[in-house]
Every structure is written in structure tokens, then in C-alpha cells.
A and B are shown apart, each in its own frame.
Chain A
Amino acid sequence: MSTAAAKQPSDPGDPLPEKVAREAVARGEHSLKSLLELSRDVSTSTDLYATFDLLLLTIMGQFGTSRSALWLLAGAHRESAVLTRSHGFDQPMVKSMVDRCEPVLREQLQRTSAPLLAWRLHPALGPSEFRLLVESEVALFAPLLAEGEVMGWLALGPRLNQLPYDPDDLAILQTALGMVSVSLHNTLLTRRLFESNRQLQSWNAHLEELDRLKTDFLNNVNHEIRTPITVVMASLECLEGVVLNEQARGLLQSALTKSRQLHARLENLLSFSDAINERLPICLKTEDLCALVRAYYEERLPGVTAELREFQCEAPAGLSTVRVDRQRFRQILDQLVDNAVKFTPRGSHIRLDLGCVRHEDRDWIQVTLGDDGPGIPPEQMRSLFKSFEQGDGSSTREVGGLGMGLAFASLLARRMDCLLRARSEVGRGATFELLVPIATLTITAARRPEPSSS
């Protein structure tokens, strides 16, 4: 508040200096009271624009001016100044003035971090900008600061009583704006947080709905297609007993093979759907993995080699037993072997190996399925075990399938407390490793009797 007293008619019974001093004290008390009220009201305000109005009206009343305006810097990098509220100013004129003077204004306010009398901008402004500043009748600018950065500014017109803004006034203004800046900054942050949460919730709900639709679709497709396929397979199998010529028999065998493949794929799809819905039953039993893998290899060898991929296996006997679901274990190997055949050219080599590894302070039996095919590009490695994504997502992809095999295999592995991982280098093949925990049996040793002292 100005310490320069305005001219007042003197009371004949009261010495002038005492009256002036009393008035100065009264104005000081009024200023302090205004600051306290502003602090209280700003801290309880929940509406952003109400806070703007509160600030402007309080400052106008405090300093006795009928003109005020507030700009906030908007955008991710606070790149644009937005006029949020104004009283008394010619809005188009003052807006145009700030647009023209903004770079200088911003720089000066950031540099000083304090209220700035408008005429002090004169040296940095061009003649036309300064003329605009004068015509707009802005007397001073004061920055709103958040974490040391300008987040906006207040503009005030001249005082109605024509008294200048002195250093005490600027100090009070800076204090007031300091309080308001913190409140505004917090309010803006809170608003953005609420909006981000709202968007996240909306996206989550949308994703949940999409997931449900996908599951429903899978279930419907499964059951709608499974039944006719079963009928087709049964019909074809009946035809196997009919006497047919060589050509017809060849066609029949081809139809039967493909329909069995389609049936198997549908079974996988249903199992995958069940697994996602956690309906898939898992029955763990103690198994000799070496025997399981050897039997599996013998079964798959004819088919893989028929596709002109050399298939080898090394499964040493004597490894520890494991607890797995035999059917699910075979399904995992099916996915890995099918993929190796699918994604390698004829003449490639595929190896199925068994060994022991130590991982995360535990002992595992590792089943390794490796090939020397083209390998998997790094960008596809990231989504390798995600459903409905294949290496080539285009509709004209060379290799058929639904893109669910590895996701399904990974799911089955997790359900059996196993780990499925992959590594690959482009041009040097791909290797899949299924880690199966070794079944442990805890035996509590009986305590040996203490030796007698005699």
C-alpha cells in the first residue's frame, strides 16, 4: 500500500502528521487483512475461474484500480498466452497488445520474477509495440510463477486516485500473487490428474469390453464351427471303409488330413479360450521328462521330416523327475515344433534337447527347441508371446494360423509353474526354452541319539 498519503482535507482539531500516520497504519492493516482474506479464499476455492475472479477483484479493491486482466500460459510447454479474465480493459486492444509484446514481456517477467511497471518495457519494445502498450492503459504487469517458471501474468490499470504504484505496493502484489500461483498451479495439476484418471478409466472399460467381446467371439466361433467340422470328419472317416479308386482315395485322404488339422486347431482355440477364462484344467503328475520327450520326438519325426526339415533329439536318461500335465506339456511342444516347421524353409534343421540348468537359484529341466531358420526380428521378439500377433500381420501373410500358438504355450507353461522364453538372432535361427521345475521331495532326517558319556 502506498505510503505517499493522498491529499485529505485536514481536521482542524487534529495535527496533520498524526492523521497521516494514522491513515498509513490503517491502510497497512487493510492491506494485511486483504492478503489474509485472499489466502483463505484461494485455499478453499475449488473452481479455477472463481479463483481468477477472486484474485482480480481483491487486487483491484486493494490498489483502487478499475482495470485488471489475467493471462495464463497454456500448452505442454506453456507456449501460448490465454486471456482468462479481464475487468475494465478494452479486451480486443489489450489482447492485441499482449500478443505483440509477449516475447519481451515473457522474457522480462522471467528475468525479474517480480512485478514490472509497464513503462520499464519501453527500451525492449519497438515503437509500435510501445504505442499499443500506452493505448491499452496497462500500468503494470506481475508474473504468476510456478517452480520458478512464469505460468502467467496479471495486468493492472492505473489507480483511480492517480497515485503511482510504489515499491511497497509491488511487494504486496508479489506476495499476493505468490500465494495465488501456488494454488493455481496445484489446481491445474489436480485437474489434469483427474482428467488423466478419467481417460484411463474410460480406456480400461473399453479394453475390458473388447476383451469380453473377443472371448465371446472365440467361444461362439469355436462352437459354431466345431460341430460341423466334427460331422465332416466323421463322414470322411466313414468313407475310409468304402472301396474307392486311387484318385478318390487320394482326395479323401487329403480332405481327412486337413479336416483333422482344422479340428486340432479349433481344439487349441477352445483350450486357449478356456485358459484365458481360467477354466482350463491342469492335472500335474510326476513324470520322467526324458521318456516323455523321446516318445514325443518319435511321434513327430515322420511328419517333420516329411516337410523336409531335419529333426534331431538328445534327451539323456537319468534326469530328475518333474511334475507336469502330460497333455498340456505335449501341447506346448506341439506349438514349438509346429512353429519351427512353419517358419523355417525346407532343408532347415530342428533340434529338441533336454538338459539341466540353474536359474534364479533353482534347478530346472530345460527343454530346448532350436532351429537354424531365418530367426526372429527384434521388434517381433517383444510381442512374441502375445495373442493374435504373428510375424507378418498382413492379410496376405505367407504362413497361415491365428497367431495364438505361442501365447497359448506361454499360458500353459505359466499354469504349470514353468517358464517359456525365446532368443533369436536374425539369420541365425530361433531357440525356445521351456524350463520345468524339478520335483523336490523334502525328507526330514531322524535325529541321531546323543552319544552316552560313559
Chain B
Amino acid sequence: MSAECEIESFQVGSSIKVTRVCGTLDAHSAMLLVDHASRVRGAKQHLVLNLAGVFLIASSGVGALLAMVEEFRHGPTSMRIAAPSPAVDSVIRLLNLYDFLPIDPDEEVAVATLEAAA
């Protein structure tokens, strides 16, 4: 069901969790990511999702991104998508979703945006 996917997570400051995803974002890894985002949200943390290392994203991966963004929208904390890889960028643009997702060019800008909003 899933090719390799690595998820690495670390803390920035007191309220921001940066998560880097590498590999394939498909059905299996999408669910892992959704669960991870739920835990971050439950801990009242902001989330920066770095997708620079994602070389393949399936529809379920896109669905996971949409689900996570929507969940954070209803909570006290926020989520940003940072450095989408060319594969992720092309799929998001193909589905005309670029304007509807909180995307930043790199991790530093995403963190700065969240710090400014806090």
C-alpha cells in the first residue's frame, strides 16, 4: 500500500512544530500525517508541514492536506505548508487549489508567519 515515507518532526520555539515529510504521500502515509496533525493540534501547537522531500503525492495525500488545513482552521492554532516539491506543486496547481492552501516558499518564511500571527 505505501512506498517509503519518512516523517521527521521537531520543535521550534514554544508553540511551533515543524514536520518534514520525505518520500511518497499516499493513502497510508496520508493517514499517518493526519493523525500526527491531530496530535499537534491537540497539544495546542502550530504546525509547519515541509513537503520539499515529497516526490510523489496521490489524491489521498492531497485529501490529507485539505483535511488538516480545514481542521486547523477551526482551532486556536494554525498550519502552514512550506516548500512544496515540484511534484506537490504541480498537482496542487492542476487541481486549482494553490490559492486555497496556506503555502510558503520555505520553512523559515512559514515559521516567521506563524510567529508573527501568534
A8 to B16, CA, bound (A): 34
Per the CB 8 Å criterion, the residue count for chain B at the interface is 26
In the assembled complex, B10 has its CB within 8 A of some CB on chain A: no
Chain B residue contacts of A33, Cβ below 8 A? 58-59
In the assembled complex, B63 has its CB within 8 A of some CB on chain A: yes
A160-B94 contact, Cβ under 8 Å, with A30-B59, A37-B58: no
Could you tell me if B94 and A57 are in contact, using CB atoms closer than 8 angstroms? no
B49 to chain A, nearest CB (A): 15
Could you tell me if B31 and A64 are in contact, using CB atoms closer than 8 angstroms? no
Chain A residue contacts of B91, Cβ below 8 A? 30
Could you tell me if A57 and B71 are in contact, using CB atoms closer than 8 angstroms? no
Could you tell me if B58 and A61 are in contact, using CB atoms closer than 8 angstroms? yes
> For window 13-70 of chain A, which residues contact chain B by CB distance below 8 Å?
23, 26-27, 30, 33-34, 37-38, 40-41, 44-45, 50, 53-54, 56-62, 64-68
> For window 46-65 of chain B, which residues contact chain A by CB distance below 8 Å?
58-65
A57-B70 contact, Cβ under 8 Å, with A26-B94, A41-B1: no
In the assembled complex, B34 has its CB within 8 A of some CB on chain A: yes
A23 to B63, CA, bound (A): 20
Chain B residue contacts of A58, Cβ below 8 A? 27, 58-60, 63
Chain B 85-96 against A: per-residue CB contact (8 Å), 1 yes, 0 no?
000000100111
Could you tell me if B67 and A37 are in contact, using CB atoms closer than 8 angstroms? no
In the assembled complex, B7 has its CB within 8 A of some CB on chain A: no
Per the CB 8 Å criterion, the residue count for chain A at the interface is 34
A54-B60 contact, Cβ under 8 Å, with A66-B69, A88-B67: yes
Could you tell me if A61 and B59 are in contact, using CB atoms closer than 8 angstroms? yes
Could you tell me if A66 and B66 are in contact, using CB atoms closer than 8 angstroms? yes
A161 to B92, CA, bound (A): 11
Could you tell me if B100 and A161 are in contact, using CB atoms closer than 8 angstroms? yes
In the assembled complex, B97 has its CB within 8 A of some CB on chain A: yes
B58 to chain A, nearest CB (A): 5
A44 to B1, CA, bound (A): 7
B103 to chain A, nearest CB (A): 13
In the assembled complex, A6 has its CB within 8 A of some CB on chain B: yes
B63 touches which one: A8, A40, A62 (CB < 8 A)?
Answer: A62
Chain B residue contacts of A30, Cβ below 8 A? 59, 91, 94-95
In the assembled complex, B30 has its CB within 8 A of some CB on chain A: yes
A30 to B96, CA, bound (A): 13
A51 to chain B, nearest CB (A): 10
Could you tell me if A66 and B67 are in contact, using CB atoms closer than 8 angstroms? yes
A7 closest partner in B (C-beta)? B96
Could you tell me if A87 and B70 are in contact, using CB atoms closer than 8 angstroms? yes
A85 to chain B, nearest CB (A): 11
A61 to chain B, nearest CB (A): 3
A441 to B1, CA, bound (A): 71
Chain B 61-83 against A: per-residue CB contact (8 Å), 1 yes, 0 no?
11111110111000000000000
Chain B residue contacts of A60, Cβ below 8 A? 62-63, 66-67
A41 to B1, CA, bound (A): 6
17 additional A-B residue pairs with CB within 8 Å, beyond A57-B34, A160-B97: A26-B94, A34-B58, A37-B60, A38-B59, A41-B27, A41-B60, A45-B1, A53-B31, A57-B61, A57-B63, A59-B63, A61-B62, A64-B100, A66-B66, A88-B66, A88-B71, A161-B100
Interface, chain B (partner A; CB < 8 A) = 1, 26-27, 30-31, 34, 58-67, 69-71, 91, 94-97, 99-100
CB-defined A-B contacts under 8 Å, sample of 16: A8-B96, A30-B59, A30-B91, A37-B58, A37-B59, A41-B26, A57-B34, A61-B62, A61-B63, A61-B66, A64-B100, A66-B70, A68-B63, A161-B95, A161-B97, A161-B99
